[in-house]
Structure 1
């Protein structure tokens, strides 16, 4: 395995990688993104992402561990200064990778069952919430996660971090609300929208059929399109002083009720 070395933060490749880390525009233009951390990298490889380059800081990451990766990769040993320039997290494992992004077009979704369970989030803005939703989806092993009207790209380092790599383990698509509703209708997937108005308690519905559970933001809720398209609005009964909860928590409650009904299959 041939290993290159870069010690200067002014190296053109390092400058490019800093842009890749910080700018969504650069990620979209190049079709690549940064992965930080060994667990996240392993999940990306398991999720069949194409890895182009691995950079490691030898004071933290043992060079011998590089043997687990393909010989076809570019391997670069970097200095402390370069590592600190590229690292997004305060505590990490000393390894960073460059990977190719995947298409998240909704037409690429592929279900292995006639009764898929899909989690949809409309216009989530906070990377932390998106990451938490993806962790919930992975834990429940849903068939797909769809982000409607996305406000940030999926390969934002904060999403990768907060999802602990579950951005790589879920089947994910993005699209406009209109496109997604059309897709659900074409595939005979019932729509259960988390909306307070004209709603029934979430546990009163049957999610053993092909089902999409749709959640919106705490601030704005779901758009009128979802209200019009919904087969049934559902709500989580609130027993305290407030009338809503964090979107990722709500998604977890709803999805795991569906999984309970399906005997966690």
Structure 2
């Protein structure tokens, strides 16, 4: 494992590049890299086969035991290892109480046509998702439910935004995640006989518990602010609702997605 002199200046070019990658999706796309902070998240990513190009470790925060775990995690790879002073690390860490571990990784790039499909796939479809926290929470749900994939139509945030990775606790890498367009998604679902269920409050919507999610299923969710676009909602096979009992008329999109997803899991296991 290549080792380098400790980084003690925030003006170091590698530190400047880390900040660029954190803040700019265009930079992440151009370099084909993203950032994972935290040993737990990195361990999950490595378990999914993710390549780590560089580690930035603060010995004062990471401690000896955690550094030993890191060495085992990337043993046999060409991962570069940089020690970083506490003052510099705190400038690049993007969460409170960091454990002193930052990794540069190559995220996977997957298309719809490359996605292996079981006989009855369960797909979580998000339209124009813009909040990394919501995307991360939905990826955790997808991992827990062993959904086939998360598909994002016309995303407003990149799929491997560091904050999405943090919110997913590394599940960004355990669930196939694909960015596509609305038109491509609909054509692909028709081609593979996947029934689409749009979560939307319309006159024709039915309670989600009345639907049969045992076959090839795509649960289609919109943004919290605007919901689904009329074009996607109308193109889906069925609109569904989660009946609201109180004063509020909707749920957080990640909560709603979890409810629908585990209803599909319940039906499939019944």
TM over 0.5: yes
**RMSD of the alignment, in Å?**
1.4
For residues 71 and 170 of structure 2, what CA distance do their matches in structure 1 show?
A: 21
Q: 1:131, CA displacement in angstroms? A: 1.2
Aligned pairs (5 A) from 1:84-95: 84-95=90-101
Aligned pairs (5 A) from 1:125-140: 125-140=130-145
Do the aligned residues in 1 keep the contact of 2:126 with 2:222 (CA within 8 Å)?
A: yes
Unaligned residue ranges in structure 2 (runs of 5+): none
Report the secondary structure of 2:246's partner residue.
coil
In the alignment, is residue 154 of structure 1 matched against residue 155 of structure 2? no
Q: 1:66, CA displacement in angstroms? A: 3.2
For residues 105 and 215 of structure 2, what CA distance do their matches in structure 1 show?
A: 36
Q: 1:226, CA displacement in angstroms? A: 2.2
Report the secondary structure of 1:51's partner residue.
strand
Structure 1 residue aligned with 2:173: 168
Structure 1 residue aligned with 2:248: 242
Matched residues, number: 263
Q: TM-score, normalised by structure 2?
A: 0.93
Unaligned residue ranges in structure 1 (runs of 5+): none
Structure 2 residue aligned with 1:17: 18
Q: 1:108, CA displacement in angstroms? A: 2.2
Q: TM-score, normalised by structure 1?
A: 0.95
Report the secondary structure of 2:60's partner residue.
coil
Structure 2 residue aligned with 1:41: 42
1:195 aligned residue (188, 192, 200): 200
Do the aligned residues in 2 keep the contact of 1:178 with 1:225 (CA within 8 Å)?
A: no
Q: 1:107, CA displacement in angstroms? A: 2.2
In the alignment, is residue 185 of structure 1 matched against residue 185 of structure 2? no
For residues 101 and 144 of structure 1, what CA distance do their matches in structure 2 show?
A: 15
1:179-207: CA deviation from partner (whole Å, max 9, x where unpaired): 11111111110111112211111011111
